[in-house]
Structure 1
Amino acid sequence: MPKKIDPAEPKMHIFDAACRVIYEHGFEKTTLREIAREAGLSLSSVQHFFPKQKDIYMYAMDVMLDKYRTRMKRASLEGENSYENAVQRMKQVVHASTEEERMENDIWVKFSMMAVMNADYTEKKDKLREINVEYAESILAMLNEEGYISDADSLPEQTNSLIVFLHGLVFESVIYRSLYDDKTVEKEIRGYLEKLCRLNA
């Protein structure tokens, strides 16, 4: 009896290859042929799973969203106070500690720029925004519960401010990687949180 192949396995293999190509060349220079070459597959094999380039981009963004959620959850520290938890959770998003995470951040920056100019990807872009809002809200709610934020009415405004800060720091750390090591990222995050908590004191 022929062995059943999980369709997710070749898709993930192609996804990994696509990420490497996008990381090296950007979306605008990525083609299905280049992805197939990187994956060690024929073009027709890739097109069997992803008939159009848009299909693989959509799949890639879904996988990346799941990876992004996982990174956000990973940094929650049991036994730490909410302030230190906030620092570590924000660092987990901004500072890539592995090559895979650096690739993820780089691709998200490139995807966000591409999505601005291509309405086909608006839904994925908006989904990332929803995840970022939920993440920022959870950090601020945690700080609020322990009294670091005294004005609960300001939380919606602070949520947007936190998202802007994180996006800016991610963008900077991707573009100017050599300037943003672990200590520098943590210093920027602590500086932001200190100002936030001081304003709400």
Structure 2
Amino acid sequence: MPKIIDHHKRKVRIAEATWKVIVDEGIEQASVRKIAKAAGLSTGSLRHYFSSQSELLRFSMEMVSERVIERAKAREYSEDISPLEFLTEGVYEVLPVNEERKIEMEVWLAFSAKVLVDSTLRELSNKVYSDMHQGLKNVVLALQSLQYAKDGLDLELEANRLHAIVDGMAMHHLLNPEHFTHDEMIQTLKYHLQSLCK
């Protein structure tokens, strides 16, 4: 009886191999040959799933975004923590607070640089940016809806500021973890969100 191949699982395996090559060697070294080797496949087998490097990168980046969204949607509120703590922990989904998220963020930063020279990736980059921005805007909106937020906050400006802070913290921590530590990243986020509250 022929072996049944789960094609989605194989594509996920290839995407995860792509992440590994990007993190270990950089996105410029993420050739189809190297990714195929990291995934334990032949180059021909990989090309069966992805006809070009751009297509492979696009799928790999979509998977990063989907995983973040799935984690965020799976979160359930518990009365053991305050709504502010719940919202703060929600923002952790897009910060390099553990090894899994660190890998995702490293890959995303590498991808973002690639977007500057590969216009075929621009649409995906814009979509992920928009999704993340809306998620962070929802954090500010929730603070307002729960009547935690100070009166008169400008929702759009605060969403922009939170997005810039999150991106900046992620980059500082990844590039200079000894100067901007994990704990400082967490404390800075908590301080900022608290500063929006009454």
Give me the TM-score of the superposition, normalised by structure 1: 0.88
Deviates more, 1:179-188 or 1:132-141: 179-188
The Cα offsets for residues 16-54 of structure 1, whole Å up to 9 and x where unpaired, read as 211100111121121001111112221111111112111
Residue 162 of structure 1 corresponds to 162
Measure the CA separation in 1 of the matches of 2:185 and 2:71: 16
Matched, 1:122 2:122: yes
Higher helix share: 1
1:93 to partner: Cα distance: 2.1
Query: What is the aligned length?
Result: 197
| Superposition map of 1:44-55 within 5 A | 44-55=44-55
Residue 104 of structure 1 corresponds to 104
SS in 1 for 2:116: helix
- The higher-RCO structure (CA 8 Å, 6+ apart) is 1
Residue 72 of structure 1 corresponds to 72
Whether contact under 8 Å (1:17, 1:38) holds in the other structure is yes
Q: What is the identity, as a one-letter code, of the residue corresponding to 1:100? A: E
Measure the CA separation in 2 of the matches of 1:57 and 1:189: 30
State the identity %.
Answer: 23
In structure 1, the gaps of 5 or more residues are: none
Residue 189 of structure 2 corresponds to 189
Q: What is the identity, as a one-letter code, of the residue corresponding to 1:95? A: P
Measure the CA separation in 2 of the matches of 1:142 and 1:6: 40
Change (3 A) 1:176 1:69: same
Q: What is the identity, as a one-letter code, of the residue corresponding to 2:82? A: N
Change (3 A) 1:192 1:132: same
Whether contact under 8 Å (2:23, 2:103) holds in the other structure is yes
Residue 57 of structure 1 corresponds to 57
Measure the CA separation in 2 of the matches of 1:111 and 1:95: 16
Measure the CA separation in 2 of the matches of 1:17 and 1:59: 12
RMSD: 2.0
In structure 2, the gaps of 5 or more residues are: none
Residue 82 of structure 2 corresponds to 81
Change (3 A) 1:16 1:183: same
SS in 2 for 1:41: coil
Change (3 A) 1:77 1:178: farther
Residue 32 of structure 1 corresponds to 32
Give me the TM-score of the superposition, normalised by structure 2: 0.89
| Superposition map of 1:169-188 within 5 A | 169-188=169-188
Residue 95 of structure 2 corresponds to 94
1:178 to partner: Cα distance: 3.5
Whether contact under 8 Å (2:133, 2:163) holds in the other structure is yes
Measure the CA separation in 2 of the matches of 1:101 and 1:148: 28
| Superposition map of 1:2-13 within 5 A | 2-13=2-13
